[in-house]
Structure 1
Amino acid sequence: MEITVLVENLAYKQGTKGEHGLSILIKVNNKNILFDTGQSGLLVENAKAMNIDLSAIDMVVISHGHYDHTGGLEAFFEINKNAPVYLKPQAFEEKMSLTTGKPRYIGLDKKVIKKYASRFKTINETKEIAPGLTIVTQINSYYPFEKGSSNMIVEKGGQQFKDPFDDELFMVYEEGESLTVFTGCAHRGIANICRTAIDVSGGKKIKSVLGGTHLKNASHERIVQTLKTLETFDIDNYGLCHCTGLQAFMQFSQQYKDKVKYAHVGTHF
């Protein structure tokens, strides 16, 4: 398996740029899978800079329906005419953020949904999309301290509710007895996601975790709780980025030392 970060908040590779978003290219068993598309057409620019042919992508998986993970879809569709986009149906719901004091739309671009409706393939159950690579759609809630963001809401039937992130999914790659977990933002909790991955696989060990953990702005105590829980899984290495936040990244690094790497644009695993 080959993994390349195409879009992320930080970019150090010459010729690339960063933005608040995430997109990861996964090559496995002769399949090219794009996990999220970032916030804008920067996905296309960075792919060109890294000599990556987006027209060769076989499928796209969307971790959840926020703009910083879906905003590159239109630019991608203009290049790639065939790859299906897998996502949960709840990703199409009206999503808002209250971080600025009033509701701000942060969901999927409605024009893109309408224009490219045939490209979207909704899923509600676990689905293997390549040998060993599986989309997991149900994230179980094991740990009470992992609660969703109170400043993110979803609108249904004209009413607004705290977003339960029912649209969130993650991917897991099984290689022998080890697992690699891919997460977009982990709104439902990175420990919940890792525990779910272990359960879904029948108890296999997590080798790697790659993606966002949504611990930015989390309290020191919350991060410590997360680290204590993850410690029980004995994870070999982490490629953290995007919404993890500097404080959380530093605490991970202090505890796990060289097991932790920042997955900026251009990082290759």
Structure 2
Amino acid sequence: MPRVSFSKGKSTMKIFILCEDQAKMGFMDKVFLAEHGLSIFIDASVKILFDLGATDVFLRNAQLFGIDLRETDYLVISHGHWDHVNGLRHFPPSEKAISLVAHPGILTHRFSKLDKYNGVPRDYHTLTAGLSTIFTKEPFQIMEDVFFLGEIPRMNDFESQQTYFTRLENNHRVPDYILDDSALAVNTPEGLVVISGCAHAGICNTIEHAKKVAKTDRVRLVVGGFHLLGDASQLEHTIRYFHEHGVELLCPMHCTDLAALCGLANNLPFKKLCSGDWLELAG
């Protein structure tokens, strides 16, 4: 397994990519799976499963890593889209007291641009009956240096400006800007780690909110979905933002198209991660 160490010293956190749109190439004794979706396991002061993908891919890849998801402390849902939540059907039962953390808007009845239901499983309440649920629009401190960001303010003028999603409100369809979109922020001795699901709020908005919540300006790593899809102007503004604000490493995946991946890779510190990859951050 590849190891990315940012400094010498004792390891403080490991980040495992359990599910992403591409799978890593390499060892034939461990064939990792991919699907459209995202799931990331964080092994730090607590064990956090961040999103669950669309099927059982996250579980099967966790088994290849040797990760027992029954030992999870917190299940964090970034937002209520099927490709991040439908894996709930395959989350293994545990004797531990596991807390689910999410924005209450994940339960929104929502639809894709093709007019298909694309929200959480319809039996969501049954699937989560054994979990202790924490719904919050405000930032929530999971541990001393681990934060769920809550609802992310849309502050700039180049992200989250339009949407092709809809949701039900008073039995009428209205535009859905995915206000439940959130992320994780982890403060490490060498800077902030931001873990994003889809960044419907905008990856730059997400980082700015993370810095405010965690009370730091140094960003060490940004990993997850960046939601850069076919908008050249947004990509240009995003690259400019990263140049101006600085970050040690970008690891975009999932909802980040090829043009965006190439643009980021050609201009900024970059590493492509896929299902089966992992990072170890030393403190």
Aligned-pair distance for 1:84?
A: 1.9
Higher relative contact order at CA 8 Å, sep ≥6: structure 1 or structure 2? 2
Mapped pair 1:230 → 2:242: yes
Would you say the 8 A contact 1:57–1:80 is kept in 2?
no
Mapped pair 1:202 → 2:215: yes
Q: Distance in 1 between matches of 2:190 and 2:213?
A: 13
Aligned-pair distance for 1:81?
A: 6.1
Q: Distance in 2 between matches of 1:172 and 1:115?
A: 26
Aligned-pair distance for 1:177?
A: 5.8
1:219 corresponds to: 231
Structure 1 gaps of 5+ residues are none
Mapped pair 1:126 → 2:139: yes
1:47-100, Cα deviation, whole Å (9 max, x unpaired): 1122111111111000000011001112104467642211111100101111x3
Would you say the 8 A contact 2:151–2:180 is kept in 1?
no
Pick from 34, 42, 57 the counterpart of residue 72 of structure 2. 57
TM-score, structure 1 as length reference = 0.92
Across the aligned residues of Structure 1 and Structure 2, the Cα RMSD in angstroms comes to 1.7
Pick from 246, 255, 258 the counterpart of residue 243 of structure 1. 255
CA 230–125 in structure 1, closer or farther in 2 if over 3 Å, else same:
same
Pick from 148, 170, 173 the counterpart of residue 183 of structure 2. 170
Structure 2 gaps of 5+ residues are 1-12
Q: Distance in 1 between matches of 2:57 and 2:216?
A: 38
Would you say the 8 A contact 2:59–2:91 is kept in 1?
yes
Which segment is superposed worse, 71-80 or 57-66?
71-80
Q: Distance in 1 between matches of 2:169 and 2:88?
A: 24
Q: AA paired with 2:83?
A: D
Which segment is superposed worse, 219-228 or 236-245?
219-228
1:22-45, Cα deviation, whole Å (9 max, x unpaired): 00010111x110010111111111
Q: Which has the higher helix share?
A: 1
After the TM superposition, which residues 59-208 of structure 1 pair with which residues of structure 2 at under 5 Å, given as runs? 59-78=74-93, 82-98=97-113, 100=114, 103-117=115-129, 119=131, 120-176=133-189, 178-208=191-221
- Over the matched positions of the two proteins, sequence identity in percent amounts to 27
Aligned-pair distance for 1:167?
A: 0.8
Aligned-pair distance for 1:146?
A: 0.6
Q: SS state of the match for residue 110, structure 2?
A: strand
Mapped pair 1:19 → 2:2: no
